Amino acid sequence: MVSRLFGRGSWPEASRIADILRQETLGGVLLLIAAAAAILFANLGDGYAKLRDTAFGPESLHLNLTFGGWASDGLLAIFFFVAGLELKREFVAGDLRDPQRAALPVVAALGGMALPALVFVVFNLGGSLEGWAIPTATDIAFALAVLAVIGSHLPSGLRTFLLTLAVVDDLIAIIIIAVFYTSSLHLNYLLLALLPLVAFTVLVQRRVSTWWVLLPLAGVTWALVHASGVHATVAGVLLAFAVPVRRQDGGDGAGLAEHLEHRFRPLSAAIAVPIFAFFAAGVHVEGLDGFTDALTEPITLGIVAGLFVGKTVGVFAATWLMATFTGAELDDDLAWPDVLGVAMLGGVGFTVSLLIGELAYGVGNLTDEHVKIGVLVGSLISAVGASLVLVARNRVYRAIEEREQLDGDHDGIPDVYND
The domain spans of the chain are: 4-181+231-417
What gap in Å lies between CA 118 and CA 133, rounded to an integer? Answer: 9
Report the SS3 class of residue 410: coil
297-310 pLDDT, tens digit per residue, is 999 999 999 999 99
> Which residues, in sequence order, are CB contacts of 131 under 8 Å at separation 6+?
120, 124, 299, 302, 303, 356, 357, 360, 361, 371
Tell me, what's the pLDDT at 1?
A: 42
pLDDT of residue 281: 92
CA–CA gap between residue 155 and residue 159 (Å, rounded): 6
Handedness of CA 45, 47, 49, 50 (dihedral sign): positive
Q: Tell me the residue length of the chain.
A: 419
What does the pLDDT profile of the chain (419 residues) look like in tens digits? 446 677 777 777 778 777 887 888 888 889 999 999 999 999 988 899 999 999 999 887 788 999 999 999 999 999 999 999 988 888 888 767 777 777 888 899 999 999 999 999 999 998 889 999 999 988 888 888 888 877 677 888 888 888 888 888 888 888 999 999 987 889 999 999 999 999 999 999 998 888 899 999 999 999 999 999 999 999 999 999 999 988 776 666 668 888 899 899 999 999 999 999 999 999 888 777 778 888 899 999 999 999 999 999 999 999 999 888 887 778 878 889 999 999 999 999 889 999 999 999 998 888 999 999 999 999 999 999 999 999 999 888 888 888 878 877 777 788 777 76
Instruction: Give the tens place of pLDDT for each residue, 82-136.
Output: 999 988 888 888 767 777 777 888 899 999 999 999 999 999 998 889 999 999 9
155 with 404: CB under 8 angstroms?
yes
Distance between CA atoms of residues 328 and 223, nearest Å = 46
* Secondary structure of residue 5 in the 3-state scheme: strand
- In angstroms, the CA 145 to CA 137 distance is 16
Q: Is there a contact between 73 and 270 (Cβ–Cβ < 8 Å)? A: no
Using an 8 Å Cβ cutoff, are 372 and 285 in contact? no
User: Residue 215, Cβ neighbours under 10 Å: how many?
Assistant: 11
Contact yes or no for 319/143 (Cβ under 8 A): no
Q: 322-364 pLDDT, tens per residue? A: 888 887 778 878 889 999 999 999 999 889 999 999 999 998 8
Span 4-181+231-417 CATH architecture: Up-down Bundle (1.20)
Percent of the chain residues topping a pLDDT of 70? 97
307-346 b/e (C-beta count within 10 Å ≥ 16 → b): bbbbbbbbbbebbeebbeeeebebbebbeeebbbbbbbbb
CA nearest to 137, candidates 98, 159, 110: 110
| Residue 305: C-alpha distances to residues 261, 293, 299, 376 (Å) | 34, 16, 10, 12
Structure confidence at residue 16 (pLDDT)? 78
- The pTM of this model reads 0.91
Cα 377 to Cα 114, 208, 382, distances in angstroms:
20, 45, 8
Answer whether 223's CB lies under 8 Å from 189's CB: no
Pairwise CA distance, residues 221 & 235, whole Å: 7
The total of other beta-carbon atoms located within 10 Å of residue 251's CB is 9
Neighbours of 362 (CB within 10 A): 12
Q: Is the dihedral of CA 58, 63, 68, 70 positive or negative?
A: negative
Say if residue 118 is exposed, middle or buried (CB neighbours under 10 Å; 0-12, 13-18, 19+). Answer: middle
Q: Are 276 and 76 in contact (CB under 8 A)?
A: yes
